[in-house]
Amino acid sequence: MTNNILVIGGTGKTGRKIVEKLQALHQNVRVGSRRANPAFDWEDPSTWAAALDGMDKVYITFQPDLAVPGALDAIEALSREARRSGIRKMVLLSGKGEKEAELCEQVVIHSGIDYTIIRASWFNQNFSESFFLEPILAGQVALPQAEAQVPYVDTDDIADVAVAALLDDRHNGEIYQLTGPDTWTFPQVMEEISRVTGRSIEFTPISLTAYQRMLESFQLPPDYVWLINYLFTEVLGAENNNVVTHDIEKVLGRKAKSFPEYVRETALTGVWDVRLAEVSEG
């Protein structure tokens, strides 16, 4: 059976993989992004109706994070528009351990539309596609919460679970918490990347205050600094942050990808190779 599926954030870390997997399964996929046609822009609600028009199901990622101010209002408005558009299923990517994100989940749960909630731990790909990449390339990583045990989850696994949720009604009404198979501290992460790449990556534990000042010195937007501060305090500092789940195995019938597997695969792409990075920038 062919479904018409809108993937909001269809060019992002999870969205682009979901688009590829759905297309490989011969589903009719519409990429939800500002550059798509029709466009979908979280900051411009007038674009939402056209993007939802003719779709049966929708995968939802909110940028930059469901924890930020304004996210709840946006999810409420999108849910109303989805009902008007006749959407039959919503799959929401949420954050494990984020209380604000759970409020957004409740909106989807009580929308009157079939749903699946995917609560994901921090992504493996934060070290290769996001804010940790630049310091890794510099060989000097300084972060707070050095000893926090994090069960990093791979975006390939998240995408596979999302595809299953979108295509199989057995996942309706479920809340899945996705983690990797074990936990890693920041020093252990850097040791593993150093070992596999043969590079020397020095890790320095710092206070959250010092880290925040460092981000501000880079003239990053205040909203971005707020979000990073939130993630390091409310998420990494949460008591249940280090809980490993087996929902990936439950849904997919296979084990979650381990962090060492991710590192081995990612190292082969050259993303952590300083020389390749320099050539790319040049």
pLDDT tens for the 282 residues of the chain, in order: 899 999 999 999 999 999 999 999 999 999 999 999 999 999 999 999 999 999 999 999 999 999 999 999 999 999 999 999 999 999 999 999 888 999 999 999 999 999 999 999 999 999 999 889 999 999 999 999 999 999 999 999 999 999 999 999 999 999 999 999 999 999 999 999 999 999 999 999 999 999 999 989 988 888 888 998 889 988 887 777 889 999 999 999 999 999 999 999 999 999 999 876 655 555
> What type of residue sits at position 94?
S
What count of other Cβ atoms lies within 10 Å of the Cβ of residue 106? 12
What is the DSSP annotation of 20-51?
A: HHHHHTT-EEEEESTTSSS--BTTBGGGHHHH
Contact criterion met (CB below 8 Å) for 2 and 27? yes
pLDDT value for 236: 85
| H or E element in which residue 188 lies | helix 186-197
pLDDT value for 115: 98
Q: Which two tokens stand for residue 160?
A: 């596979």
Residue spans of beta strands (DSSP E) within 197-272: 202-205
pLDDT value for 277: 60
Span 4-121+154-178+243-256: which CATH code?
Answer: 3.40.50.720
Collapsed DSSP state (helix, strand, coil) of residue 262: helix
CA distance 141 to 45: 39
Q: Cα 183–269–263 angle (5° rounding)?
A: 15
What count of other Cβ atoms lies within 10 Å of the Cβ of residue 12? 19
CA distance 112 to 80: 10
List of residues 6+ apart from 28 with CB closer than 8 A: 2, 3, 4, 5
| Pairing verdict, β 4-8 and 28-32 | parallel
pLDDT value for 281: 53
Quickly tell me which residue has 């696994």 as its tokens: 157
Q: Which two tokens stand for residue 254?
A: 């296979």
Residue ranges per structural domain of the chain: 4-121+154-178+243-256
Reference 17, options 152, 117, 155, 125; nearest CA is 155
Reference 260, options 199, 147, 181; nearest CA is 181
